[in-house]
Each structure stands twice: as structure tokens, then as C-alpha cells.
Amino acid sequence: MKDLVIGIDIGGTKTRAVLCDARLNVLGRTTRPTPARAGNGAMVDTAADLARELMAGADGALRGVGVGAAGVVDHREGTILVASDSFVDWAGTPVGRILGHNLGVPVSVENDVNAFLAGEVAAGAARGRPNVLGITLGTGVGGAVHLDGRLVRGAHGAAGEIGHVPGFGDALCTCGRRGHLETLASGRSIATRYRERTGSVADAAQIAQAARTGDADALAVFADAGMAVGRAIIMVSGMADPDAVVIGGGVAQAWDVLEPSITRALVEEPPVGGHPISIARSGLDSDAVAIGACANALQLSGVLQPVDALQLH
């Protein structure tokens, strides 16, 4: 019987689930709104319902489930430690234990940016690369680091969290401090910086479109965002020496507008190692977190060893 896993990306607005085989081929996917206001029980029930929906009629046996969730996650216990206020009763939820009880399989729970990078390394733009920095430019900015083929966690699970490092101007960040990378490079910040310059209200996708038509303010805002991301990459390079960077999140969909200034920053201040760093847009796009959660589930359930994950495809 075929081994199957399910990866579930519990985001602020949507919960996405994908069904994969042991080689991370996507066999099915489904999405529902995240009932973030309805509390932790409703959120876990939605995840379990999506898993059952994918398994109905699936040809194979479910071996494990992976979850990628925003916030600080205790991956050993499968528990959410810290979550944003928009997720009611989410912090403290033992997601892995509840889902494992409901679905009868091992459940891996991981921070969503860590899961994003796991997906890109296993089956996406950084496939098979052992030393990779992952950056997500969404509503906020997240980061994760793989070194020597392993996710780096650090003392508190916050390794790679480049979004809230200072040195990027003086604007107020969502975390309450100033000058963080997120104040220039998140989708929300791109909209704010554009509104400050023009008085116009637009989202990052609309501003990217304006940049493509030559709007000087839109171009400047994206140039600032790209230069900031490039400088962040240089900082991480000096510490961790990745040979590849994969960038995802909604802002990366404006890759044509964003990438030139990232590359310019790397040309102006090349990493001290002297080796060029490959910069790539997410290869899995909106599936990245869920596919990464599938890769984690494969490892947890023992279907796949970590070394195999690097040799997929």
C-alpha cells in the first residue's frame, strides 16, 4: 500500500492542506478559511477535517501529518508557545497531541517559516542544497536557516528570524521596536512606505504593478525593500555562509520588481567568503509550507530518513 502524508499550513486567513506521496508528489490539495477567532478547538478541528477530506478516496495509507503554524512552536512537544493575538486561545495548544489522537498517526508541528524552508530544500527551489537561508516576505518577514543539511533552531527556536533585526532605518515595526528589516520589506510595510510618499492606499501587488509602469515612488519603495533584503542576506552570510537563498511569501510574487535591487545589494557588498550566493524565488509558492510539513511528517513517521530527503527527485 502506498505511503501517504498530509501537510497542513495553518495561516492567519487560510488553512491549506496537501496530500503527498513519499516522494513529495502532490496528489491533492484543499483549503478552508482559518477560524482564528473561534478558538483553538475550531482551528484544530478544521485541520483534522481537511486531512479526512484528502484521505477520503485516497489510494494508500496515511503514515503521518505535518503542521506548519505561525508563531513560536515547541517542535518536540508539538505545542504552540507564542501566537499573535489574532489567533484566539492558540498559544499553549498541544496541536500535535490533539491531531495525533484524532487522526491516529504521528504529527509533526513546526513554525511555518521553518516548514517553508523544509519544503523548498526537499522539493523546491533549494532542492538538495545543504546550506540555505529562507526568507518569507508576507504580511511580516520571517526567516529560517538550514546548515549542513539540518534546520538550525538556536537556543529558543528563533534562529534565522531576520525580520526583527535592526539596522534598516528608523520606522516603527509591528513588534514595537524600530528599524527592523520588516519595516521595509514586508507587504504591509511596502504599502505603508508607499502611502507615506504618495498618500495613496494600495497593496504590495498593486504597487508592484505601478512599478512596472514606471511609477517612481513604487520603484523607490521596492528598491528600498530589495536593498534591505540584500543587506540582510549579506549579514547572514557573514555568520552562516549559505550558498543559496530562497525567498517566498506574497511579496516574492513581484519577483521581477524585487530581485534586481537584491542582486544589486549583493554586488555592491559581496559576501566576505567571496563566493556568489544563488538567489531564487520560492519554487513551491503557496504550497511551500504544506509540502515542507509533509517532508517533516515523512521524517517523523520514519518513512523517510533525513539523508533521503536531500536526495528526492
Residues that bind Zn ion (CB under 5 A): 164, 173, 175, 180
Q: What is the DSSP letter of 294?
A: H
Q: Using only C-alpha atoms, what is the Rg of the chain?
A: 19
Cβ closest to Zn ion, residue 129 vs residue 164: 164
Rounded to the nearest whole angstrom, what is the least distance from the CB of residue 183 to Zn ion in the complex? 7
3-class DSSP state for residue 219?
helix
Where do runs of H (alpha helix) occur along the chain? 40-55, 95-103, 112-123, 182-185, 187-198, 204-212, 216-240, 255-268, 288-300, 306-309
Rounded to the nearest whole angstrom, what is the least distance from the CB of residue 16 to Zn ion in the complex? 26
Rounded to the nearest whole angstrom, what is the least distance from the CB of residue 13 to Zn ion in the complex? 21
Contact 4, 52 (CB under 8 A): no
Cβ closest to Zn ion, residue 173 vs residue 297: 173
Rounded to the nearest whole angstrom, what is the least distance from the CB of residue 92 to Zn ion in the complex? 23
Cβ closest to Zn ion, residue 137 vs residue 304: 137
Residue nearest Zn ion (C-beta atom):
173
Rounded to the nearest whole angstrom, what is the least distance from the CB of residue 166 to Zn ion in the complex? 8
Cβ closest to Zn ion, residue 39 vs residue 179: 179
- Using left for φ > 0, alpha for ψ between -120 and 50, and beta otherwise, residue 177 falls in beta
Contact 20, 68 (CB under 8 A): no
Rounded to the nearest whole angstrom, what is the least distance from the CB of residue 157 to Zn ion in the complex? 17
In sequence order, the β-bridge partners of residue 144 are 134
Cβ closest to Zn ion, residue 164 vs residue 193: 164
In sequence order, the β-bridge partners of residue 143 are 135
Burial class, 174, CB count within 10 angstroms (exposed 0-12 / middle 13-18 / buried 19+): middle
Rounded to the nearest whole angstrom, what is the least distance from the CB of residue 140 to Zn ion in the complex? 8
The Cα–Cα gap between 284 and 306 comes to 20
Cβ closest to Zn ion, residue 185 vs residue 300: 185
Cβ closest to Zn ion, residue 34 vs residue 189: 189
